Amino acid sequence: MRGARRCLPALLLLLAALPAQAGNLRWAVTTTFRNSGLAAVLLPAAQEDLGFGIDLLVVGTGQAAGLARAGDVDAIMIHARPLEEALVAEGVATHRREIMYNDFVLVGPRNDPAGIREADSAAGALGRIAKARAPFVSRGDDSGTHRRELELWQEAGIGTDARPVAWYKAVGAGMGTALNIASGLNAYVLTDRASWLTFRNKGALEILFSGDAALFNQYAFLPVNPARFAHVDAAKTARLEEWLTSERARALIDDHRLNGVALFTFNAR
């Protein structure tokens, strides 16, 4: 055990490399925000302008809401309006502030066995997939994308019983993992445009349906209520909200492009 004693100074040195995180704002965001590369643009700029650190927790919308309800974060940014309004009504969040939007798209195999290219609405496209019993990958993780998908199935009048596992695969995973599985199974999948454009394992998949108003995808910022959780840093959260709705954020968000395609549109008021 003398060897272990010898190694102790080196270990202490390593421990010193663990960052002191006290004072950092804790912000839960959805996977899109990171996977689109927007976090890598906005976060350094925000930290520089605001003069404090921000810890980004990248989770699904449902989990972000859970973190807010437990008081484990200072603010969240999610994309599921009914849930956002519920959080405000419960007193978990003080309010919701719309920041930016993009859209959902239906991705599937290039040869489009269900023929959704010709569909006249998003719900109609899902109806065609169900009719053809073509493989479809669902997030199944209570995320914003998953919630929207379930709304669309409901609109199409196709209940849970009409979606057997033979073709409907609820994978219970984040957007990237779900896209990997869809790519492997050559299946249809609902995804936000930014995640799709930045995904590197597209395989034989491509965007087959987009543009329906039902696929509009609004992101909103919700500060966790300091009246409920005393340790929440309301001052820093308010400054972040102010920054996210500033002209500087507008320029960064609108100018963030991948291969010339804009991924998000700023619409804070």
Residue closer to another protein, measured from CB, 202 or 250: 202
Q: Which is nearer to another protein, 153 or 199 (CB)?
A: 199
Query: Cβ distance 220 to 29 under 8 Å?
Result: no
Nearer to another protein, 46 or 119 (CB): 46
Q: State in angstroms the smallest separation of the CB of 122 from another protein.
A: 24
Q: Least distance to another protein from the beta carbon of 81, Å?
A: 25
Instruction: Provide CB contacts within 8 A for 155, sequence distance 6+.
Output: 122, 123, 214
- Residues within the interface to another protein (CB under 8 A): 1-4, 6-7, 11, 14-15, 17-19, 21, 24, 26, 31, 35, 55-59, 69-72, 173-177, 179-180, 183, 198-202, 229, 231
Q: 3-state SS of the chain: helix, strand, coil percent to 5? A: 45, 20, 35
CB of 14 to another protein, least distance (A): 4
- Provide φ and ψ at 204, rounded to 5°: -95, 15
Residues 6+ apart with CB under 8 A from 56: 27, 28, 29, 34, 39, 43
Please identify, using beta-carbon distances, which residue of 35 and 218 lies nearer to another protein: 35
Token digits of residue 159: 């209940």
Shortest separation between residue 212's beta carbon and another protein, angstroms: 26
